[in-house]
Copies of this chain bind each other. A is one copy, B any other.
């Protein structure tokens, strides 16, 4: 800390939290965005964000901001990067801590209260964003893609019960390429983190597809061992 007694002579800055909130519905990966209602960029779209309070843990702030904007808590959320250019926000010096979050549609259909014009946009049709938010989104999306090829975090984006074709379609939506359903389902099954139910879903086919749910305990046992796979 160089050669000072305490921090009185050092600057303070605003610390923002910006969240790239991913959701999955209509067979597309979507991102929740909000329309700014204050200067200098009224009406433009931005990531969901907020400012850290002095008496608030950083992780608590990210949960608070997510809850305020979506009504959800206990959401999968992970820090990705920090953005700290001096003039990245023209209003003030703001260092932004960027997270991404994964939300599943059942939860948000029931509980989500979109505030201040929050709206879902498909990942391939994102409007112009303020500041460096496009860079943030790109980085978060890259992180999600990289991560999902190594760990089965996709479940966070699906409802509690889902079918194998849905899971595969989700992976295709995220990785933006088609995947071999035999190989992928084999790989997922081999992890033994799914519980098969004796129900079928008939939304998309006459034959119907079996429903599965995600066994969080087995999953956590795996990740503790540092288990990885690759698509």
Query: Interface readout for A12-44 with B: 1 if CB under 8 Å, 0 if not?
Result: 111110000000000000000000111100000
Q: How far is the CB of A11 from chain B (nearest CB, A)?
A: 4
Q: Is residue A56 contacting chain B, with contact meaning CB distance below 8 A?
A: yes
**Interface-lining segment among A82-90, A152-160, A196-204, A206-214:** A82-90
Q: Is residue A141 contacting chain B, with contact meaning CB distance below 8 A?
A: no
**Interface-lining segment among A46-54, A171-179, A183-191, A216-224:** A46-54
What is the copy number of this chain in the assembly?
Answer: 2
Please report the C-alpha to C-alpha distance between residue A39 and residue B86 in the assembled complex, in whole angstroms. Answer: 30
Q: Please determine whether B59 and A84 come into contact, CB atoms closer than 8 angstroms.
A: yes
Q: Please determine whether A91 and B2 come into contact, CB atoms closer than 8 angstroms.
A: no
Q: Is residue A182 contacting chain B, with contact meaning CB distance below 8 A?
A: no
Residues in B whose Cβ lies below 8 Å from that of A57? 84-86
Interface size class of A (residues with CB under 8 A): 35 or more
| A86-B55 CB under 8 A given contacts A3-B116, A7-B91 | yes
Please report the C-alpha to C-alpha distance between residue A119 and residue B46 in the assembled complex, in whole angstroms. Answer: 45
Q: Please determine whether A54 and B13 come into contact, CB atoms closer than 8 angstroms.
A: yes
Q: Please determine whether B6 and A51 come into contact, CB atoms closer than 8 angstroms.
A: no
Q: Please determine whether A82 and B79 come into contact, CB atoms closer than 8 angstroms.
A: yes
Q: Is residue A5 contacting chain B, with contact meaning CB distance below 8 A?
A: yes
Q: How far is the CB of A36 from chain B (nearest CB, A)?
A: 7
Q: Is residue A108 contacting chain B, with contact meaning CB distance below 8 A?
A: no
Residues in B whose Cβ lies below 8 Å from that of A10? 14, 51, 53
Given contacts A1-B46, A2-B50, 15 further A-B contacts (CB under 8 A): A1-B16, A1-B38, A1-B50, A4-B38, A5-B38, A10-B53, A11-B53, A12-B13, A52-B95, A54-B86, A58-B82, A58-B84, A61-B84, A79-B81, A82-B82
